Amino acid sequence: MAEHITIRKATGKWVVRAGGAIIGESSDALELVEGSAPPVIYFPRDDIGMAFLEKTESATRCPYKGTATYYSVSTAAGDIADAAWSYEDPMEGVEQIRDHLAFYGHKVTVEQL
């Protein structure tokens, strides 16, 4: 793993909300810190209502984590494009984030309960 990345179990229970609905809640979330960037919470897929998410064509590449695939979140008010991402085949050293999703805080609400 890159020395500037740390992954640990996130303290407490975390929730993700979109369009006024809770789409996920977890006591098994992970916190990833990369350098001086703010922590990112990664939710286990099993704790997310995957029926609300649809995989998009978008993808980005991180030299430390691998290729991220993106998901739009469907709400009653409409779709939120590329609101979530996942490293489905993460690089060596960050395998803990496999089968997890992270969400953009400026597109949905991610908070600790």
Closest listed residue to residue 85, CA positions, set 98, 102, 97: 102
Residues 26-41 pLDDT 10s: 999 999 999 999 999 9
Please provide the DSSP assignment of 1-52 as one string. --TTEEEEEPSS-EEEEETTEEEEEESS-EEEEETTSPPEEEEEGGGB-GGG
| Longest CA pairwise span in the chain (Å) | 42
Indicate the pTM of the whole model: 0.95
What is the overall mean pLDDT for the chain?
96
Quick one: pLDDT at residue 90? 97
Q: Is the pLDDT of residue 1 over 60?
A: no
- Please check whether residue 72 is in contact with residue 47, taking contact to mean a CB–CB distance below 8 angstroms: no
Residues 52-84 pLDDT 10s: 999 999 999 999 999 999 999 999 989 999 999
Query: Which residues on adjacent β-strands are paired with residue 34?
Result: 5
Choose which CATH entry (3.40.50.1820, 2.60.120.560, 2.170.150.40, 3.40.120.10) describes domain 5-112: 2.170.150.40
Per-residue pLDDT, averaged over 80-107, amounts to 97
What percent of the chain is modeled with pLDDT above 70? Answer: 98
Q: Where are the domains of the chain?
A: 5-112
